[in-house]
Amino acid sequence: MGLKECQIVLDNPWNTYYAGQTINGRAEITFDSPKKVRGIHIAFKGEAHTSWMESETKTDNQGQSQTEDTALSGHEEYFQIQYYLLGGKNGGEIELPAGTHTYPFTCALPPSLPSSFEGEWGYVRYTVKVTLDRPWKFDQDTKMAFTVISAIDLNLDPRVKEPVKLELEKTFCCCWCKSGPLSVVVGIPVTGFVSGQEIPISAECDNNSNVSVISLKFTLRKNVKFHTQMPRRATKEDSIIIAELQVGPIEPGKSANWNQKMTIPPLPPSNLVNCGIIDLDYDLKIETVVPGIHRGLKSKIPIILGTIPLASFQPKAPYTDVPVPQPMATPAEPDASNPNAGGWALPSGDPMGAPLDNVHALYPNIPAPTFTEGQFGATTIQDKNDTQYTRMQQQAFAPCYPTFAFNPTAPTI
């Protein structure tokens, strides 16, 4: 039979890295009998891809309508690094004995990469593939995906530190009768947040109209635009509800005030910086739900989701009794003579200004994040370049995003 198992092992338990860091790991390949190969090859790739089908109805020369389906796609490649762990493309046969063979590897990620993202019509994805290059036979591949995070330090953007106050007003008309106004005021203290944080929402409603307000609804939305390039440019938009809460009702002539909190689940950071075919942003939608034919008030507040929270906006000091290990420290290059050797070295920095190893020194009240899978489930990473001889190490993949836990009962430091 030959190949029994090929396992790709990366150097942190989340398989998550910041752009500019170095990946280290090993390929563990087990044979149940001697195996002849030309070499063992590894390939790292970062890419974005969009695709969908569009139908178009055309009229032919006989005046008959025909529907044509067109496959639209967009693609960007950010890097591709490949080399042989053993042997070479033009080398001779190598016979490997039965048993487990370990091959260390390393890959320096470019500093300007968009964050990993998986969506309905596209993705930003990073993969590593180990290939057994077999003479006169089909190659055998093992492939896995890992997460890359483009660091966004909210402290470097003064705009997200400012409070927002939204004032809305509407007058309802019914036949010849004009009512008093419905007034809503909504405020949030900042517009920059991270996954795991709560958005504090203050709201007040003065219903001087003659129309009942069923509820005042707040919706956190993830808004994505996918773009194609071939055979033509096209855009597909998707708006996904992340979290939702409602307060009310408010009867005619009544007023009410609320203070609510909306928790942000693990999500990719805003903008997908350096990706030209997928746009990503978030907003907090505010609307009044009213009965019948009346139209309620609607508006939205843009939200910026970062990876380093605002040091100036902390509900309480974080609880820090238990340190959380994380991939802000990058393992050193593996020693080829000792593939199981460890060793940890701090990365040089990140593209957003502050070196990652200085984050705690700059913002001592910010807790270390954990890295948690995104909330929208895992997906297959198989693509058109894979064959029947490509084994997926993960049955499905979901990127992991930095998620912060702020303990409201922690003592003030």
Any domain includes 385: yes
Return all residues near 225 (Cβ < 8 A) that are at least 6 apart. 235, 236, 237, 238, 278, 279, 280
Residues in the chain, how many? Answer: 413
The verdict on 325 and 343 lying in the same domain is yes
Domain boundary among 286, 306, 326: 306
Domain with 42 in it: what CATH number?
Answer: 2.60.40.640
**Host domain of residue 203:** 154-306
The verdict on 264 and 331 lying in the same domain is no
The per-residue pLDDT for range 334-376, each reduced to its tens digit, is 333 333 332 222 333 333 334 455 677 788 888 889 999 987 7
The verdict on 136 and 162 lying in the same domain is no
Domain tally, the chain: 2
Q: How much is the pLDDT for 336?
A: 36
Span 375-398, mean pLDDT? 84
Any domain includes 409: no
Return all residues near 392 (Cβ < 8 A) that are at least 6 apart. 143, 144, 380, 381, 382
Domain boundary among 262, 283, 306: 306
Span 51-73, mean pLDDT? 85
The verdict on 115 and 127 lying in the same domain is yes
The per-residue pLDDT for range 161-207, each reduced to its tens digit, is 999 999 999 887 765 666 789 999 999 999 999 999 999 999 999 99
The verdict on 27 and 142 lying in the same domain is yes
The verdict on 38 and 129 lying in the same domain is yes
The verdict on 79 and 191 lying in the same domain is no
The verdict on 197 and 232 lying in the same domain is yes
Residue, of 339 and 300, whose pLDDT is higher: 300
Kindly report which listed range (153-162, 292-301, 342-351) carries the lowest average pLDDT score: 342-351
The verdict on 275 and 345 lying in the same domain is no
The C-alpha atoms of residue 309 and residue 201 are separated, in whole angstroms, by 18
Residue type for 161, please? K
The verdict on 114 and 168 lying in the same domain is no
- The strand pairing partners of 118, in sequence order, are 123
Identify the helix (H) or strand (E) that includes residue 362.
helix 359-362
The verdict on 171 and 291 lying in the same domain is yes
Domain boundary among 285, 306, 327: 306
Any domain includes 311: no
Q: Whole-model pTM above 0.75? A: yes
The per-residue pLDDT for range 12-41, each reduced to its tens digit, is 889 999 999 999 999 999 998 888 889 999
The verdict on 267 and 173 lying in the same domain is yes
C-beta separation of 121 from 104 below 8 A? no
Any domain includes 93: yes
Any domain includes 295: yes
